Amino acid sequence: MGFSLFVIRFSPLPQKQRLAFRLLGPALNVNEKRTTNNEKRIAAALLLGLLGFAAQAQHPRLPARKPGLEPAPLQTEQLTQDRPAADTARVFSLQDLAELVFANHPVVKQAALLSETARSQVQQARGGFDPKLGSGFDRKLFGGTQYYNNWANELKVPVWPAGIDLKVGYERMVGTYVNPEHRTPLDGLAVAGLSVPLGQGLLIDARRSTLRQAKILVDAAEADKVKQINEIWLQAAKDYWNWYYGYQQMLLTREAIQLAETRFRATSRRAVIGDQAPIDSVEAQITVQDRLVQLAQQQVELQNNSLLLSTYLWNKDGQPVELPAYAVPQRPTLQPLDTVALRGLLDFAESRHPTLLKLDAKIRQLGVEERFRRELLKPTVNVSGYLLSRGDFYRPEVPAYYDFGRNNYKVGVDFAFPLFLRKERGKLWETRLKVQDATLEQQNSRRVIVNQVQARFNALKAYEQQLNIQAQTIENQRLLLRAELQKFELGESTLFLVNSRETKLIELRLKQESLRAGYEKTLAELYYYAGTRAVQEQ
């Protein structure tokens, strides 16, 4: 009821009464004017007291009036463009993140295992050329008769060129029922010779093909390793700039709350002394409360962004660590790139991009496979020749005709050739199709990579233009806000317009920080699509 009486008392006067007051104004009693002003102030104080009681559990209380209270200023420095740099001891820079990710992150360590795995496969392939030492012994004695006593020893050494096998051995096969063609002297028989493929396997065989392909796969594994590390770094950089944007949101909202609270206190004091409508203080308090709600939501988002960034932080012992609560992000450097830098990135992408390197290694591997498959179309012709001697050839009393010489030898020739070669021709056909497929994929990938690099560069240039325009827009909006505040001081504007101007300025500043974060994320994407992960030195 008190509120309704207040409205009735201060409702606008009819036009005729206002005109009468203007005409009779000089004749009004001065004491009556003072009484009317005092009544207005008392009624305003009562209304503000009721409003303050209703909002007591929310935020600032109206200050008590004191004798000689002057109006509080509304003009303040609004949302400064650039804040002083934070304490460098608290700044967690992008370079700090890169050092931790590249040194300790499990995915980076896991990617390093790809190269080690490929090298282990090379070592396995080299095993095909390891010398082999073999020995076998068989003896049969039955009914007092020695059926056979066989002892065979062999050292076989594969030789890389021409697929030659070097063989040195010692055989002793004696007994009543030993096959005469295998029987040796009682002192045994020494063997030394070669086995040479003259047809299939002369230029390349399975052992050499496997080793060459394994060596090429090391290059493919290195490219795959770089690609995986680039991917994890791209995501880490994006999450870092998301954390930066969330931090800037919180700072801007805190500053906006301070401005709103200053305006609320100033409006309240002015309402108490009767220089401003009391309802304006309600609107000022609503602005404070709305921004407090925004701040609470942004603090949760910032905490989540910090947790997401912490997933990339590991110590040297492989234990996860958390981002300190006091850590703050660096300011974006907004490093500009020109066409010369773009040309360098394009050249790097076309020659050293991990995707293209991996496809190039695949094509070279298939080239080795194709060469081996062509070799299998040849007939198998293996020629072997061994010199023979008695097992005790090292003794000087051994007759010359039992020693190594041209009259003591063993030779052999093996020949084989499939008549239709359907299996071999089918394998060769399949390998050639794989080579064509990998070549076409490489051509397409190169075109896609170049276009992606160019697209990200164009996006960076668009960001540069937007940031320049955004800075000018913010300055113009700041001028509008200052002008609106001056008009408000003169009584020619309303608090609603002041809040609208300020809210628009906050939105523009938030958009500016969003553009800065977007620029840095696009720069990280540009480096990623170029096949590198350049980190800006701070």
Q: How far is CA 265 from CA 284, 357, 446, 473, in A?
A: 9, 66, 63, 29
CA distance 537 to 88: 15
Instruction: Describe the chain by its helix, strand, coil percentages, rounded to 5.
Output: 60, 15, 25
For residues 355 and 472, membership in a common domain is answered with yes
- Point out which residues pair with 405 in neighbouring strands: 408
Residue 285 is part of which domain span? 98-124+209-367+429-530
**Other beta carbons less than 10 A from residue 378's beta carbon:** 17
On whether both 118 and 139 belong to a single domain, the answer is no
Q: Has residue 421 been placed in a domain?
A: no
Distances (CA, A) of 230 to 112, 233, 247: 13, 5, 26
Query: Which residues, other chains included, contact 440 with Cβ-Cβ below 8 Å and sequence gap of 6+?
Result: none
Q: Is residue 481 a part of any domain in this protein?
A: yes
Strand pairing partners for 383?
A: 196, 413
The predicted-structure confidence for 358-394, as pLDDT tens digits, reads as follows 999 999 999 999 999 999 999 999 999 998 888 776 6
Same domain? For 266 and 410 the reply is no
**Cβ-based neighbour number of residue 236 at 10 Å:** 24
In terms of pTM, does the model score above 0.95? no
Q: What is the enclosing helix (H) or strand (E) of 300?
A: helix 279-310
User: Do 304 and 350 belong to one domain?
Assistant: yes
Are 234 and 337 part of one and the same domain?
yes
Written as tens digits, the pLDDT of the chain (538 aa) is 333 333 333 334 444 334 333 333 433 343 444 444 555 555 444 444 444 444 443 444 434 434 333 444 444 455 665 565 556 778 999 999 999 999 999 999 999 999 999 999 999 999 989 999 999 999 999 988 999 999 999 999 998 777 899 999 999 999 999 988 888 888 888 999 999 999 998 899 999 999 999 999 999 999 999 999 999 999 999 999 999 999 999 999 999 999 899 888 888 888 888 777 788 888 889 999 999 999 999 999 999 999 999 999 999 988 999 999 899 999 998 888 999 999 999 999 999 999 999 999 999 999 999 999 999 999 999 999 998 888 776 666 666 666 777 788 899 999 999 999 999 999 999 999 999 999 999 999 999 999 999 999 999 999 999 999 999 999 999 999 989 888 888 878 888 898 899 999 999 999 999 999 999 999 999 999 999 987 543 3
> Is residue 335 located within the same domain as residue 267?
yes
Q: Is position 506 within any domain?
A: yes
CB 380 within 8 A of CB 456: no
| Sequence-ordered list of residues with C-beta below 8 angstroms from that of 480, at least 6 positions apart, any chain | 501
Same domain, 146 and 286: no
Residues 387 and 249 in one domain: no
Q: Are residues 286 and 138 in the same domain?
A: no
Query: Same domain, yes or no, for 140 and 255?
Result: no
Q: Name every residue whose Cβ is closer than 8 Å to that of residue 282 and which is 6 or more positions away in sequence.
A: 51
Identify whether 33 is part of a domain.
no
**DSSP string of 163-215, one letter each residue:** G-EEEEEEEEEESTTS-TTT---TT-EEEEEEEEESSTTSS--HHHHHHHHHH
Residue found by looking up tokens 């974006």 in the block: 332
Asked if residue 322 is part of any domain, the answer here is yes
In a domain, 53, yes or no: no
Domain count, the chain: 2
Question: 362 and 276, same structural domain?
Answer: yes
- Same domain for 265 and 324: yes
Residues 356, 445 contacting (CB under 8 angstroms): yes
- Nearest-angstrom CA–CA distance, 454 and 530: 10
CATH of the domain at 435: 1.20.1600.10
Residue 252 located in a structural domain? yes
Q: Which two tokens stand for residue 280?
A: 């304006």
Length of the chain counted residue by residue: 538
Q: Is residue 3 part of a domain?
A: no
Q: How many CB atoms lie within 10 A of CB 11?
A: 8
